[in-house]
Amino acid sequence: MSSSGPGPAHLRLKARLLLAASITLSVAGFAAFYFLFRRDFNVYWLILSSVILPLYQAPAVFVFRLYRRARKELTGTRAEEG
Protein backbone atom coordinates (compact mmCIF):
# COMPACT_ATOMS: atom_id res chain seq x y z
CA MET A 1 0.00 0.00 0.00
CA SER A 2 1.53 3.31 -1.07
CA SER A 3 1.41 6.39 1.10
CA SER A 4 1.58 9.92 -0.26
CA GLY A 5 2.26 11.63 3.06
CA PRO A 6 2.88 11.17 6.76
CA GLY A 7 0.31 9.56 9.05
CA PRO A 8 -2.33 6.92 8.56
CA ALA A 9 -4.44 7.17 5.45
CA HIS A 10 -7.73 7.47 7.35
CA LEU A 11 -6.46 10.52 9.25
CA ARG A 12 -5.31 12.20 6.03
CA LEU A 13 -8.69 11.51 4.45
CA LYS A 14 -10.51 12.84 7.52
CA ALA A 15 -8.44 16.04 7.44
CA ARG A 16 -9.07 16.58 3.72
CA LEU A 17 -12.81 16.00 4.08
CA LEU A 18 -13.02 18.40 7.02
CA LEU A 19 -11.14 21.08 5.08
CA ALA A 20 -13.44 20.63 2.07
CA ALA A 21 -16.49 20.78 4.33
CA SER A 22 -15.32 23.98 6.02
CA ILE A 23 -14.71 25.67 2.66
CA THR A 24 -18.12 24.55 1.41
CA LEU A 25 -19.85 25.80 4.55
CA SER A 26 -18.06 29.13 4.32
CA VAL A 27 -19.15 29.68 0.72
CA ALA A 28 -22.68 28.57 1.64
CA GLY A 29 -22.74 31.10 4.49
CA PHE A 30 -21.82 33.95 2.17
CA ALA A 31 -24.35 32.76 -0.40
CA ALA A 32 -27.13 32.50 2.19
CA PHE A 33 -26.37 36.02 3.42
CA TYR A 34 -26.38 37.37 -0.13
CA PHE A 35 -29.60 35.66 -1.22
CA LEU A 36 -31.50 36.57 1.94
CA PHE A 37 -30.64 40.26 1.92
CA ARG A 38 -30.04 41.20 -1.71
CA ARG A 39 -33.60 42.46 -2.30
CA ASP A 40 -33.91 44.59 0.82
CA PHE A 41 -30.32 45.58 1.48
CA ASN A 42 -30.11 49.04 3.04
CA VAL A 43 -28.10 50.87 5.71
CA TYR A 44 -29.87 48.93 8.47
CA TRP A 45 -28.69 45.60 7.04
CA LEU A 46 -25.24 47.04 6.37
CA ILE A 47 -24.86 47.84 10.07
CA LEU A 48 -26.26 44.48 11.17
CA SER A 49 -24.20 42.53 8.65
CA SER A 50 -21.24 42.64 11.02
CA VAL A 51 -23.32 40.49 13.39
CA ILE A 52 -25.32 38.41 10.91
CA LEU A 53 -22.45 37.29 8.68
CA PRO A 54 -20.40 35.74 11.52
CA LEU A 55 -23.50 33.77 12.54
CA TYR A 56 -23.65 32.27 9.06
CA GLN A 57 -19.90 31.54 9.21
CA ALA A 58 -20.02 29.83 12.62
CA PRO A 59 -20.51 26.27 11.22
CA ALA A 60 -17.54 26.75 8.89
CA VAL A 61 -15.36 27.92 11.78
CA PHE A 62 -16.40 24.91 13.88
CA VAL A 63 -15.56 22.45 11.09
CA PHE A 64 -12.26 24.25 10.45
CA ARG A 65 -11.36 23.80 14.12
CA LEU A 66 -12.06 20.08 13.71
CA TYR A 67 -9.77 20.11 10.67
CA ARG A 68 -7.00 21.76 12.69
CA ARG A 69 -7.42 19.11 15.40
CA ALA A 70 -7.19 16.36 12.76
CA ARG A 71 -4.01 17.94 11.36
CA LYS A 72 -2.57 18.05 14.87
CA GLU A 73 -3.31 14.32 15.20
CA LEU A 74 -1.42 13.74 11.95
CA THR A 75 1.64 15.66 13.09
CA GLY A 76 1.50 13.91 16.48
CA THR A 77 1.38 10.56 14.73
CA ARG A 78 4.34 11.52 12.56
CA ALA A 79 6.36 12.61 15.62
CA GLU A 80 5.70 9.28 17.33
CA GLU A 81 6.78 7.30 14.25
CA GLY A 82 10.01 9.21 13.69
Digit-coded pLDDT (tens) for 30-72: 998 888 888 887 888 888 888 888 988 999 999 999 999 999 8
Helices in 1-82 by DSSP H: which ranges? Answer: 9-37, 43-81
Q: Does residue 3 lie within any of the structural domains?
A: no
27: domain range? 9-81
pLDDT of residue 77: 62
50 within some domain: yes
Q: Total structural domains in the chain?
A: 1
Examine residue 2 and state whether it is found in any structural domain, yes or no.
Answer: no
CA dihedral 44, 45, 46, 50 (to 10 degrees): 120
Greater confidence (80 vs 75) lies with 75
Residue-wise over 18-32: b if at least 16 C-beta within 10 A, else e? bbebbeebbeebeee
